[in-house]
Structure 1
Amino acid sequence: MPQLTDEAAPDRSAPDGSAPDRSAPETSLPEPSLPGQDRAAGTWMTPEAYGASRAGLWTAAVVLVTDPDGRVLVQSVDYRSDRLLPGGAVDAGEAPSAAAAREVREELGVDGRYPRGLAVDWIPADTPGFPPGMRFPGEILHVYDGGTWTPERIASVRLPAQEITGIHFAEPADLPALMDPGDARRALSALRARINGSGTALLEDGRPTVPTALDRLGVLRTRRTAQRGAWHPGPVPAQLSVRDHRGWLFAPDGRVLLLIARATGAAHLPSPAAAPTAGAFPLGYLYDEDRRPDGPQDVHARTAARLTGLAPAADPAYARLLATPEQVRELSDWGQAGVRELEAVHAARTRLSLPAPTRTPPTELPESATRW
């Protein structure tokens, strides 16, 4: 940053061009420059010149809210066809977090504070969609974490008489079809940053400057497979057929193995036979009790076990990650039964004498073999 002064930088060298005497005290001000004299070279600038050299940008703040099923709150407005996250422009002298709270209150009638930032995005001046007469200079947009809203909080939403015409909770993969492309990229990047739990992501036009494994693999770009039903602990009863069998396979640090399809970004628990394990036992199963009695009676079975190692990756179509159980649930669509399943998973971790893992960005494992 250049130093600021109202005068030219003084020339403190001796008359013969030698270095200044640093031992002599500086007791006098430099003489003002006379008309016609050259101002000293260097990085000195007047406050006026420095102020004129700075880029002018707009500032805005939005809030990312999800429902208990992991869907994202978007709102319809009366001035454009695509949907938006709640939020808007930061007023002069207003903090971005204060603007986020004000906008949610004005647009949805819900009071709250949103101190946790998920992302800060730089939107370039040449972004399509802004009318030339607007002279859009570019924008810094803050994305704050609105958390997961309960059904009661969602029911408390009160829309204003104009501007906001409705709200909708959208599957993350549907955001590109509902929103402006840059807005959708930003929302998905912010959602991945929330799942990562590693702090605020820096974005440029909605794209992370330092992509994580979830970003690189495009997680949540396709719809999650719904696995709804009631959670039942223990083995699957003999009269029920197993539709699919997945494993909560624990690494020594308490995280679990997760597979990501490279082509789609879809997240899956692995088969219990995907890796060498020890101490395996049936954890429970998901069963759709609302199906007709004469319909198929199949279930989604779960096994818990401790990983003892990983063989070389057998299928290059899948990336292998280690994630916390909470991250696995947030990348899945299991409904409220997922809460019960998560409780069973942590009980299994305790039974296997493994630590509670700290939330960090999911780690992609190498394709080579791993042993613990």
Structure 2
Amino acid sequence: MTDEAYGALRASAALWAGTSVLITNEQGMVLVQKVGYRPFRLLPGGAVDKGETAAQAASRELQEELGATATIRRGLAVDWVSAAAVQAPEEMRFPGEILHVFDGGVWKKEQIAAIQLAPHEIQAVEFAEPADLPALMSPSDARRALSALRARIDGAGVVLLEDGVPLTPSVLDQVGVLRTARACHHLPFHPRPVPDDLTVRQSWGWAFAPDGRVLVLLEPDTGAACLPGGTPEPEDNGNPEATLAREAREEAAAELTGAMYLGYLSDPGKPCARVRYAAALTSLGPATADPATDRTYVRVLATPEQAVELFDWGPPAAEQLEAVHQARGLLGIPRAGRQPVTELSSPTAW
């Protein structure tokens, strides 16, 4: 094959190259843009220009669209986008696209307030709950954004997608984490005993494995996450620690030891408290259905920081995390580095 014929063959199979940036606020909501030329919301981004790398294009697009200066260093996903997935008009002759998704990080209020929208292109920006993305974005864009967000939480590195679907789904993808709205519980955390005038309505625990990760339960039908624990029953005799031990056994077949009280959450306008503990995991039995919900939870290990990203706890989450790590140190358990979320499908003992 001549160089000319080889070049013609390559050109006939060429794809477009695009880039986008996933940005969240401190509540885990995703930044999306409203544009005048599309009926759907978009992540910041656009085409990779001639002579640019995908990361350089991402930085340029952030500057042009949001007036933000940022150096993009971390990729989240690379998506092979087929012409069928885009459903572009015939006259566009869309050949397909390789689209890179980069991590724009967590933006604080000051960064959000400094946004300067590109005139005549970006009409508005908003932060959307992850579960709302399918209603706001095109189907392929929503799949890609959620896959990239799960990859960021999972911390396994860049994931390869085809039309927004991971080639190798993580447990977060398999369960569909973040496909339903997270319950908004921005409740103050108090690292002290429960006052006498408050009734304990909930007892949850941060159950540590020896590697510093904690047990998180994922609902198989909704993808919602929770920590082990639940509501007091008469057999607990008013002891929240007994509630935690019983609920962990019923929900996750988990046995705990060394429970340490962390504090409680107050619910404004309600005379009740939601207490929090830290404890060490000693064993997990075979997964069984929770008698209270008839669900068999998917049991995973995640770092405490990854666990918080699955909830919408607002600013008080930072205070609770501080108390969690203090207790972890007292339990003699090391701090876990970020690593992929791991499913615990078989009985385990530590």
Q: Does 1:280 align with 2:271?
A: no
Residue number among 294, 305, 315 corresponding to 1:326 in the alignment: 305
Choose 222-231 or 331-340, whichever is displaced more: 222-231
* Native 8 Å contact 2:206 2:324 kept in 1: yes
CA displacement at 1:101 relative to structure 2: 0.7
Residue number among 40, 43, 52 corresponding to 2:8 in the alignment: 52
Residue number among 325, 329, 337 corresponding to 1:350 in the alignment: 329
The separation in 1 between residues aligned to 2:154 and 2:278, in whole angstroms, is 23
Question: Which residue type is aligned with residue 89 of structure 2?
Answer: P
Aligned position for 1:371: 349
Q: Secondary structure at the match of 1:127?
A: helix
Q: Secondary structure at the match of 2:201?
A: strand
Aligned position for 2:199: 241
CA displacement at 1:160 relative to structure 2: 2.1
* Native 8 Å contact 2:188 2:266 kept in 1: yes
Question: Which residue type is aligned with residue 326 of structure 2?
Answer: A
Question: Which residue type is aligned with residue 2 of structure 2?
Answer: T
* Native 8 Å contact 2:225 2:311 kept in 1: yes
Q: Does 1:96 align with 2:58?
A: no
Residue number among 291, 301, 304 corresponding to 2:278 in the alignment: 304
* Native 8 Å contact 1:75 1:166 kept in 2: yes
Q: Does 1:217 align with 2:175?
A: yes
Q: In the TM superposition, what whole-angstrom CA distance separates every residue of 1:155-195 from its partner, at most 9, and x where no partner exists?
A: 00011221100000000000000000000000000000100
Q: Does 1:264 align with 2:222?
A: yes
Structure number with bigger Rg: 1
The separation in 2 between residues aligned to 1:163 and 1:340, in whole angstroms, is 40
Q: In the TM superposition, what whole-angstrom CA distance separates every residue of 1:72-125 from its partner, at most 9, and x where no partner exists?
A: 000100111210000001111111111101111111111111111000000012
* Native 8 Å contact 1:263 1:317 kept in 2: no
- Superposed CA RMSD in Å reads 1.2
Q: In the TM superposition, what whole-angstrom CA distance separates every residue of 1:127-169 from its partner, at most 9, and x where no partner exists?
A: 2431110000000000000000010000000112211000000
Unpaired segments ≥5 residues, structure 2: 230-243, 249-253, 290-294
Unpaired segments ≥5 residues, structure 1: 1-44
Q: Secondary structure at the match of 1:276?
A: strand
In the alignment of these two chains, the number of paired residues is 322
* Native 8 Å contact 2:288 2:296 kept in 1: no
* Native 8 Å contact 1:228 1:286 kept in 2: no
CA displacement at 1:244 relative to structure 2: 2.0
Q: In the TM superposition, what whole-angstrom CA distance separates every residue of 1:5-34 from its partner, at most 9, and x where no partner exists?
A: xxxxxxxxxxxxxxxxxxxxxxxxxxxxxx
CA displacement at 1:63 relative to structure 2: 0.4
Q: Does 1:118 align with 2:76?
A: yes
The separation in 2 between residues aligned to 1:226 and 1:126, in whole angstroms, is 37
Higher RCO, Cα 8 Å, sep 6+: 2
Q: In the TM superposition, what whole-angstrom CA distance separates every residue of 1:286-308 from its partner, at most 9, and x where no partner exists?
A: 224xx3xxx32223211111111
The share of aligned pairs that are identical, in percent, is: 58
Residue number among 14, 17, 27 corresponding to 1:69 in the alignment: 27
Question: Which residue type is aligned with residue 221 of structure 1?
Answer: R
TM-score normalised per structure 1: 0.84
The separation in 1 between residues aligned to 2:5 and 2:83, in whole angstroms, is 23
Equivalent residues in 2 for 1:186-201, closer than 5 Å:
186-201=144-159
Residue number among 304, 319, 322 corresponding to 1:340 in the alignment: 319
The separation in 2 between residues aligned to 1:194 and 1:277, in whole angstroms, is 30
CA displacement at 1:245 relative to structure 2: 1.5
Q: Does 1:169 align with 2:146?
A: no
Question: Which residue type is aligned with residue 187 of structure 1?
Answer: A
CA displacement at 1:232 relative to structure 2: 0.8
TM-score normalised per structure 2: 0.90
Choose 46-55 or 320-329, whichever is displaced more: 46-55
Question: Which residue type is aligned with residue 371 of structure 1?
Answer: A
Q: Secondary structure at the match of 1:304?
A: strand
Structure with the largest fraction of helix = 2
Aligned position for 1:14: none
The separation in 1 between residues aligned to 2:173 and 2:264, in whole angstroms, is 31
